[in-house]
Amino acid sequence: MIIILNWNGLADTLECLESLARLDYADYEVVVVDNGSTDRSVETIRARFPHVALIETGENLGFAEGNNVGLRYALDQAADYVLLLNNDTVVDPGLLTALVKVMERDGEIGVASPLVFHYGVLDEIWAAGAVINWADGSTQRLRAGERAGKDESICDADFVTGCALLTKREVVEKTGFLDADYYLYYEEVDWCVRAHKQGYRIVCVPQAKIWHKTSRSIGASSPLVSYYMTRNALLLLRKHLAGVQYVLSVGRNLVLTARSVVSTFVKRKHACRRANARAQVLGVWDFVRGHLGAARMPNQSW
């Protein structure tokens, strides 16, 4: 089962669905979960792709809970494998064949991701899995900016990005669904950490490929991104660390955030980032207050 979450991204979703129609895998279904779109996505997708299941949530539930709607549907349909796929991606025809082959070969692998390339650039890698810096909760994509080679082997990672994540039914049943408290960003990090704790490997499969348009929904440098990345890194640390390690990691995270915020107001060249700095402060404050889920952004010009 392939799950695509759509929120006012009609053009991207149509291109993604067109690429999925060229998959060489014999047996798969596609479900589009529409997160309360207002751009005629539902009507257009139904008309253009009548064979695709379409679930309307009626509101924007965020990335985590929107995908959970699809995951519940997939489990109800007795799917053996589930692929979470961003709507702003285009897939190689051999994507599913390569991913499933690796997972069938090694029962310890619970999550697999393709090599993710920049859209419009055939061989420039955007991500080949990612790692977590537990010292402050930050993350880093592996091999970003590199070129793909030939005959590469699968590689382990701390997590894989949610833009393309294949998992098994049993992993979902043991690990649970995505944590809706994150709403957007870090939910796949947390999910992969939980899968690791269940004894599963997380891998990137270089024989599988997709091309990703990156941050089409709210923009890569928007205040909302700064808010969620700030708040949710702290949430990840709270969920998975304890004692002295937790205190030290949160302390370092807050120091780095403070430095970033102060620099935007002290250095004139960083003045353009002040809206993001205010969002970072709100992210920390909401974490302290326990305000999770969708951002409670004030109605003002950031």
pLDDT tens, position by position, 12-60? 999 999 999 999 998 999 999 999 999 999 999 999 999 999 999 999 9
Q: Report pLDDT for 30.
A: 98
- Residue 55 in 3-state DSSP? strand
In the predicted model, residues of the chain with pLDDT beneath 50 are: 300-302
Q: Report pLDDT for 121.
A: 86
Q: Report pLDDT for 219.
A: 53
Compute the distance between CA of residue 283 and CA of residue 201 in angstroms, rounded to an integer: 31
For β-strands 201-212 and 155-156, DSSP reports them as antiparallel
Q: What's the pTM?
A: 0.94
Q: Which residues contact 218 (CB under 8 A, 6 or more apart)?
A: 184, 224, 225
Q: Report pLDDT for 215.
A: 61
Q: Report pLDDT for 300.
A: 43
Q: Report pLDDT for 217.
A: 54
Evaluate whether 85 touches 17 at the Cβ level (below 8 Å).
no
The full set of domains in the chain, from first to last, is 2-212 (3.90.550.60), 223-289 (no CATH)
- Helix (H) / strand (E) containing 187: helix 187-197
Tokens for 105, please give them. Answer: 């070969």
Q: Report pLDDT for 221.
A: 75
